[in-house]
A and B are shown apart, each in its own frame.
Chain A
Amino acid sequence: MVKAKKVEVASSNVGAYQQAKMSLKPRIREFRFSLYLMSKSLLAMIGLVIVLVLVFIAIFAPVLAPGPPGWIEKNPMQIPKDFESPKPPGSPWGAYMQGEGTFTFGSGSLGLDIYYGCVWGARTSIYTAVYVVIVAIIIGIVIGAIAGYFGGIIDEIMMRITDVFLSIPGLILAMAVAAVLGRSLDNIMLALIIVWWPPYARIMRGQVLTIKEGTYVEAAKAVGSKKMRVLFRHIVPNTLSPIIVNATMDLGVVVLVAAGLAFIGFGPPTGYAEWGRMVADGQTYFLSEVEYPAGSGIFYNPWWIWAFPGMFIFLFVMGFNLLGDGLRDILDPRLRR
């Protein structure tokens, strides 16, 4: 019977198209329903808007913050600076910047342009978050799925390994790994991946354990599918909702922890467009006063150095958190209708 169906499909492309359309239809309907549910949740929409704005900022960074002429062609992730002492928001660039412009968010240590750093820092953050979460999910899914599906000694060994990683508080584990590997953004990401995969392995294992007894899994086995095919073709795709919800929230939390690590002194040095590092630079000026314009006798506390990048971190984490919360309500079948 299976054979007959194959022949039929092969004989007519129209048939295949129709079939694909038919099988897609319920998915599209569900997707549209999800969008509808989401549009009804105010907080989720706020989260979505924040996330979209940040993605927009990251994509259009060259337009939003071009820096001095010719700057972004050289090394865009380095923040331009005028080597003068910090200036409040709205003051003009110093002579060293070789261009006309203002420090929209003020300038920091060495005269770093805070606005430029905030805008381009969105790229650093999104890149870090997406990279860490995706790699962690892939590792977690593979290990969790295998442990849950095969059970027995494999399960036992794999779960004890995740226990080990879960028994060290996340930030401290990341710190130890990053310290040993050396200070750079890549090493922070590697350290964060090591911290982030075990929870995914746990979630995945739990999901597989509940789903593997399902009738459709038995059906797949009955027609003679290989174990790996059953696992990654029939079980794994049906376990992804909680993973997606967690991943969305984690995109924010990764940036939170990465910024914390950068704040202590891991990660790229001062001058790189990274929010955590920028806040740390602000701390060095924390209780001091700067005079602007020079010789005028007007003093400011340079709060802008840490407040603007801090606000970006906060918004980033909050956006993904709200979106994740909203997605949980939408994707949870028990709450869905």
Chain B
Amino acid sequence: MRPAYSVILLTTLIGAAQGLFAVLFGLELAGRAGLLPAPGHGFLAMGALASLGLLGAGLVASIFHLGRPARGWRAFSQWRTSWLSREILVLPGFGIAALAYAVLHGMGATTPGGAQLVAGLLGTILALALFVCTGMIYACLPFLREWHSPLTVLNYLLLGLASGSTLAAAFSAAAEPALAVATSGCALAMTLAAFAGRAGSLVRNAGLHPPSTPQSAIGVKHARVVQVTQGFTAQAYNTREFFHGRSPGVLAGVKWGFLVLAFALPAAILVAGLGRPAAGTIALAFAIQFVGLLAERWYFFAEAKHPQNLYYQCVA
């Protein structure tokens, strides 16, 4: 598939937003349970606003993916069958919950703690549901074998939690130092878990054999079936949308690039800073990891081989 930069930005930005929100609520719960020092209202409110900012940026990016964005409201209607529709339904729900959480904590101790808990719980549930929706958009397509796996959903979840918790670690090192070690540890654990999940899908996908062949594409049973011409010399939607047009070397480079940038480097920085987490270095780790996740998402699309490409092998 040809990676669309709008979708790459959308999924990485909202993934970090969802991950950040879930970690913030986790910190609030741990604080209330006495497991960690309680985070301040201002810290949680600012964090939720940052999450909202990322979500909004992702939403802006997504508009560029649509041919007719003004009709976007229609996408709420098919939630019974379409994971894309479900995503578009859950996304603003999460945004509203995050905004409510930010406002309730922004008002500080004047609001009842129960309301803050409800908003946080609702936001976290919707954030997790949004991971499932995003992952299922890709995992539900059976003939894109590289995506058609529970690992796709798991990786959207883990990669979002990894970048979100690294951002939370940088933020707490700057604004709530008492929580910096815990959030750094959380970011490290999530980054390693995401590495395990993504490596798992890379290994799985390396062993895939496409069920569709030139033989099944035109329905002729013979050992050698090759295309002589696709029937036209010009370009078409089919020759653009489904081919990334890069060499295997570029693909391999992006793969190793994202393994280093999204996992190895941030993990090393987080480990080195565990003794005394510094906001600047962890922010750098987040920036590196985010660039790595952009590359990861590019590779995710480029890696998927669409069976329609069997029909577009040869111009003449």
Whether chain B is bound by chain A comes out as no
Taking beta carbons and an 8 Å cutoff, which residues of A are in contact with B? none
